[in-house]
Amino acid sequence: MLVDKIIFLDVDGVLNHNAWYKWAMSHPEFFKEGGHKNIDPRSVERIIKICDETGARIVMSSSWRLWEFYQTLKNLNRIRDLRPILDYMVGITERTEDRFRGQEIKYFLNNCRKGNFMTATGNNLKKADVEFAQFPKYIILDDDTDMLDEQANVFLHIDDRVGITHKDVEKAIKILNESN
């Protein structure tokens, strides 16, 4: 699989947010139906919409990632409301000493070109050959601002009070689908 469009995805503030926590805590019936209080399923649907309309794949840049991609997938697979995005995940950023997210993304783009990665389909983890384009288009969805100046045009600063919105989705699709 050739990956030429990437979403660098944060979880906290993007897929869960203050409005979601407030709603979830006031709807205990949601948890009886198997819902997970930490993830807003509507936000997950918005990420999937971006992927489906652009062909983008997800690289987890969140603190939710573990040290290895396989372990990250295995851990995220336990969270029912996150499972739909696992079909689109192709990697994680490595942690750098300074933990500066923009630097970790730059490192990923400069160093990760080809490999045998784990992907998830439903509850099954499987191996997939993934090759990254030399200069992939990308966006960064994050509520933090520790990005590099060179990433300003592809960074969508998500408001952690409301998470990813329809407006953010439209902007992400436009950036990923615009011609060079």
Residue ranges in 26-143 assigned as alpha helix (H) = 28-32, 41-54, 69-76, 83-86, 101-111
Q: How many domains does the chain have?
A: 1
167 part of a folded domain? yes
| Residue-wise burial string across 64-98, b where 16 or more C-beta atoms lie within 10 A, e elsewhere | bbbeebeebbeebbeeebbbbbbebbbbbbeeeee
9 part of a folded domain? no
Reported pTM: 0.85
Q: Which residues of the chain have pLDDT under 50?
A: 116, 118, 121-123
Which residues span the domain enclosing 92?
28-177
Q: What is the pLDDT of residues 10-45, one digit of tens each?
A: 888 998 888 878 887 887 777 666 666 678 889 999
| Token couple for 137 | 């288009």
